Chain A
Amino acid sequence: MKTVKVTLNVNNEKVKLQVKPYETLLETLRERLSLTGAKEACSLGSCGSCTVLVNGTPMRSCLILTPEVDGASITTIEGLREGDRLHPLQEAFMEKGAVQCGFCTSGMIMTAKGLLDRNKKPTKAEIIKTISSNICRCTGYKKIVEAVEEASKKII
């Protein structure tokens, strides 16, 4: 089968790749670019652990074919920090202990990033609504919601 040429801007770095036409963005990120922050859990779009930003919008990378996003800007959890500084969401997740096994964390943070980018001061109800796109099976969401609230206070 013929491969497809794609150009992606991943975490502000331009990459040119030859990918399989049926390759998912999650596979490209993890297996070709070694960006293993986005996780594969259900692989069917139900859980959200593979969420990354595609041109600023949070998306399930397990449901996207890499050729579909040719030319797009992709942000993964690895691209959130600025220099040595972690993103306020990353700091708040650590401070609030919003992590137990950690498998959902990068998807949670990328989903929350999508929210804070379009709505800097979301209400608690709005945070809960957005975060319910993602499944966490250990912390019970309380600390995750607190962490997003905390981060939203720090973002000016």
Chain B
Amino acid sequence: MILPSFEYKKAQTIDEALELYKKYNGEAFYLAGGTDLIPLLKHRLFNPKAVIDLKGIEELKTIKRKRGNLLVGPNVTLYELKENPEVKENLPCLFESLNATSCETLQMRGTIGGNIMQNTRCLQYNKSLEWRTARGFCYKMGGKTCNVVLNARSCFSNYCGDNAPALMTVDSKVRLAGPQGERTLKLEKLFSGDGKDPFNIKPGEFITEITIPLKETKGAYEKLAVRGSIDYPLVGVAVTVMDEVAKVGVTGIGPSPRLYEIEKINKKEIDKIAGKAYEDAKPVVNAVLTPAYRKKMVGVLIRRVFARIEKGGSR
């Protein structure tokens, strides 16, 4: 499959990346590992004038420990983060979600920044231009209505990142650089809930750092997928227990990951959150398993993760 034509630019500094974005009047994409972006471009879902490679920016590639936090550059690969001793020891939920992402080879190329920022997915959307032209463009592609929920002027595509929910359960923050300066957000605030435009990010902004508070935590990640390897989550549930409080992140079902909190962990509270997450999940016919089954699995996976944490994480 041939790519559409675009220019390739490599930035050496954050300022240079922002300059390049301005030079192309915003008709450019930032590029990290390309494992999400390149397939989208091959499918002609976007036709940028340029891609701006961020991999030349040294400060985006490091993992540092500072004042009780792990500061992770967005260009750190999923594999490198997974192999980090702090992650292995203190962040079991994140370790499991990284380990469950795609496959080893893709983990060695895909980055954590690109993973957080991966586009939402839908069986009608991630298709070739020819397929989509024959079917007629849906709302997310610029058409009038959704092709799954007929006549809806809204998009129900799924956010299928495995790691954002795990990062949310450990109170991670992201720092963004943009044409108007820097800002820091709680990770959950990065998601808009709108399938057409899933991120609360201003034109030209990009992630420059992910801050993860380092505390001793218990946790686990469970993922519903058809294959054991190389498969996006059809539902993913991340749970971290920290200072007796549990945070629950749900991904793979709907346009944004969702976060819940349990202040007192007992069966009744777990059932209550499992019920609430089940109610909040509004799947439609746009993934490879039926909506009813995926919806049911939200509650099942939440209970399963807690059962595993109780057993010390083992299966």
Which residues of A does B touch, CB under 8 Å?
Answer: 1-2, 4, 20-24, 27, 43-46, 48, 51, 57-60, 62-65, 67-68, 111, 114, 129-130, 132-135
Contacts and interface: CB of A to CB of B under 8 A. Distances in A.
A134 B106 CA distance: 10
Given A22-B3, A44-B42, A45-B38, A68 B8 contact: yes
Nearest to A24: B3
B5 A20 contact: yes
A21 B229 contact: no
B104 interface: yes
B213 interface: no
Contact of B104 (A24, A44, A62, A129): A129
Interface of B: 1-8, 10, 31, 33-35, 38-39, 42, 51, 53, 55, 103-106, 108-109, 228-230
Given A21-B7, A43-B1, A130 B104 contact: yes
B228 A132 contact: yes
- The prevalent SS among residues of B at the interface is loop
A114 B7 CA distance: 31
20 contacts: A2-B7, A21-B5, A21-B8, A22-B3, A22-B5, A48-B105, A57-B108, A58-B105, A59-B105, A59-B108, A63-B34, A64-B109, A65-B38, A68-B8, A68-B31, A68-B55, A111-B105, A133-B105, A133-B106, A133-B229
B155 to A, nearest CB: 22
B222 to A, nearest CB: 18
B109 A63 contact: yes
Contacts of B3: 22-24, 65
B35 A45 contact: yes
Most chain A beta-carbon neighbours within 10 Å: one of B5, B8, B34, B106:
B8
Complex A-B, nearest 8 residue pairs according to Cβ-Cβ distance, in ascending order: A132-B229, A21-B8, A133-B103, A43-B1, A133-B105, A22-B3, A44-B39, A67-B8
A15 B4 CA distance: 25
Contacts of B105: 48, 51, 58-60, 111, 114, 133-134
Contacts of A24: 3, 38
Nearest to B231: A46
Contacts of B109: 57, 59-60, 63-64
A1 B5 contact: yes
B164 to A, nearest CB: 20
A132 B8 contact: no
Contacts of B2: 27
Contacts of B33: 63
A117 to B, nearest CB: 12
Given A65-B51, A129-B229, A134-B105, 10 more contacts: A22-B5, A27-B2, A45-B106, A60-B106, A60-B109, A63-B35, A63-B38, A68-B55, A132-B103, A133-B105
Nearest to A19: B8
A63 B229 contact: no
Contacts of B10: 67-68
Contacts of B1: 43-44, 62
Nearest to B38: A63
B80 to A, nearest CB: 11
Contacts of B34: 63-65, 68
Nearest to A63: B38
B230 A22 contact: no
B271 to A, nearest CB: 34
